[in-house]
Structures are given as C-alpha cells and as structure tokens.
Amino acid sequence: MTPLLTVIFGVACGMSVANLYYAQPLLPTIARTFHVGSGVVSLAVTGSQIGYGIGLAFLVPLGDLLVRRRLIPTVLLGASAGLFVASVAPSVAILIVAVIVAGVCSVVAQILVPFAAHLADDATRGRVVGAVMSGLLLGILLARTFAGLIAQVAGWRTVYVVAGVAMLVLAGTLLRVLPGEDDRPTIRYAELLGSVVHLMRTERVLRLRSALGALAFATFNVMWTSIAFLLAASPYHYSQAVIGLFGLLGAGGALAASFSGRLADRGYERLTSGLSLCIVIGSCWLLFVGTTHLIPLMAGVLLVDLGIQSIQIQNQQLIYALRPEARSRLNSGYMVSYFIGGSLGSATTGITYAAGGWHAVVELAGAFGVLALLLWGASEVLTLRSRQRVAPT
C-alpha cells in the first residue's frame, strides 16, 4: 500500500460516499421546489442512507468473492445513473427513488476500505485505514460545501449532474490503477451472505463495535441533517453557499481525527474510543449554545466530527483484526449496523426539528451519544471482570 495508492483510495472513498450527503444543505431549496415540508424532504437524506444500507448488505460482501478491480467500476456506473436521474426528477418521490439507487451503488467506499486494510501490513494498518477513512469523512463533509456552492450558482439540480459525471471519471480511473487479484475464494453468493450473519453472531467485538458505530453515526446525522434549517433561519439567515461552507469545519475535525489511527497501531483503541465519545457528548453542549451564537456552533461542529471520525477508526481497526480473510464481510456487517443507526438519526431529525427546533435536535443527538458512552462503559467493565476471573492466583 504505497503513499500514492493510499491517497487515491482516500479520494475515491470520499467521492463515492459524498453522493449520500449532497442533499443536506439543499433541503430548504428542494422543499420549496416541490412544495413539501421539512419532514418529507428529509427523506431525500434518509432514502440515500437506506439505499447505502442495502448496498452494504448485498454488494460489499462481494469484495471477498470477486476481483475488486472490475467490481468497483461497475458499481460506480450504477451510482452515476442514479445521480443523473436525481438531477431531472420531476417530483420529490422520484428524487427519493433516484437517491436510493445512487446510495446502493455508493458503497464502493466500503469495498475500498477493507481492500486498503488487506494491502497494508500489520505495523501500518491503523495508519492506512485512518488515512483512507479521513478521505471518506472529508467526502461526507465537503459534499455539503460543494453542493452549497454549486447550487448557489447553478441550482440544486446541477449538483447531481456534476456528481454523476464525477462517478464516471472515478470509474475509469480506478479501472486503471487498482491492483489485480489472482486468487479469489470459491464460495456461492448465498453462502457469502450467510457468513456475514454468522460473523455477527459469533464475534462479540464485531457486535459491540457495530452498536457503538450505529449510535455515533446517529448523532452525526441528527446534527448534519438539521443544521441547514438552523442556518437558513433567524438569527443567521445564511445562503446555500455559506451553509455549505460549514462542511469545512467538519473537514478540520476529520483531518485531526486521523491521528487516532496511530493510537490504534499502538494498542490504545479502547481508551481512545471512550475519549472520543466524551468529545461527541461535550460537543452537543456547544451546539446547544450555538442556537444563537456562531463561535460555539462552529466549535461544536468541528468537535462532533473529530469524535465520530475517531471512534470510527478505532472500530474498524478492531474488527479488521478479527478475520483477515473476511474483511469485506466484517465490514459489511459493521457498516449495515452503522447506517441503520445513521438512517434512524436522519429519519427522526425532521420530526424532532418540526416539533421542537434546534434545541430538541441537539438533545436527541446528545441522547444517542450518551447511550454509546454507557454501552462502551458497560463493555469495559465486563472485559475487566472477565480478565480478573481468568487471572492466575
């Protein structure tokens, strides 16, 4: 895994996963286009994540079966088709269907991450995964900046046109640069999917880390799905372009969190996980104050992304070490849970914001964060007790 290939993997992950998040800063404008409320238009975000979850369950395991150099460009062509349909959608229903299709095919990122872990050696795996995951989170966050700026100049539909073209370019690029794989396992597709379920049943670390990831991502989506409504209203009254620029704050947090990959290589995954969750919960207080104060809001955005990216890196470092020959399937089980949590967060956000505004949304995000911290604490207590029972007397 050369430095150049690490950069290419990170950029590819960021570009593909960005497809899920273009709608977030555009929600107020899309709502006006189709004359619908915040609860309905938020389904454009939820739909893309539901599609992503489907892709995680049924496409990502293929990374352990098929040659990824051919699989990945093929899937990207499907993402491009969904994005082009979204750009011309005549109704919000068709838009939601189109982003679901794009979401299904945007799981390329989750095929590339275990591929990167496979190509890296044991001593640098945490650093490589951290770098690639930073690229992925930068894509999530900068998607908002890109979408806001493009929509401000040329309208929200142009965002999806440009994104569709980007997927075509990415497909061609990866077809040329991805390394080949000669020996792939001989296993039927049904058995492949069944082994994902088996891994979830038998690997306690995978179940724990999947639950932590789901709750953390729910917190992330609660904040990012609703922040456009806060920034478009009083007292901020920001344009789409300015709202999109808030993604740059989260990008700073994502880059800072890449350091946690080095901590994972040194064996500090569990401690770093707890500290990361504390950062997420603390950031919710800043977001609450940020209802009317810009500086705390900006600090809260930066810290919540720092904490969630860090916990994600720790989670994946631990699960990839479980079964090296099944990393795509491990990632599939983990990421399905992760995006179930994210979909739950974005689906409840529209209703929560309509009922209680930004304050209620931040309380919801904080509740998800507290649940994750309690789960981590309980798992640490159980681990400590287990070690005490088996310790020699």
- Whether the Cβ atoms of residue 136 and residue 17 lie closer than 8 Å to each other: yes
Question: Can you give the pLDDT at residue 114?
Answer: 86
Q: Indicate the range of 9-18, 107-116, 248-257 predicted with least confidence.
A: 248-257
Q: Give every CB contact of residue 237 below 8 A, 6+ residues apart in sequence.
A: none
Q: Indicate the range of 9-18, 71-80, 266-275 predicted with least confidence.
A: 266-275
State the residue range of the domain holding 236. Answer: 3-390
Q: Residue 111 and residue 94: Cα distance in Å, rounded?
A: 28
pLDDT value at 393 more than 60: no
Model confidence over 333-388: pLDDT tens digits? 998 898 788 878 888 887 898 889 999 999 999 999 999 999 999 998 887 777 77
For the chain, the straight-line distance linking the first and the last C-alpha, in angstroms and rounded, comes to 45
pTM: 0.76
- Token pair listed for 291: 């209802």
Q: How many structural domains is the chain composed of?
A: 1
Q: Residue 260 and residue 243: Cα distance in Å, rounded?
A: 28
Question: Can you give the pLDDT at residue 350?
Answer: 78
Question: Can you give the pLDDT at residue 390?
Answer: 61
Question: Can you give the pLDDT at residue 138?
Answer: 80
Question: Can you give the pLDDT at residue 66?
Answer: 86
User: Does residue 40 or residue 51 have the better pLDDT?
Assistant: 51
pLDDT value at 214 more than 90: yes
Buried b vs exposed e over 274-298: b needs ≥16 C-beta within 10 Å? bbbbebbbebbebbbebbeeeebbb
pLDDT value at 222 more than 80: yes
166: CATH: 1.20.1250.20
Question: Can you give the pLDDT at residue 105?
Answer: 95
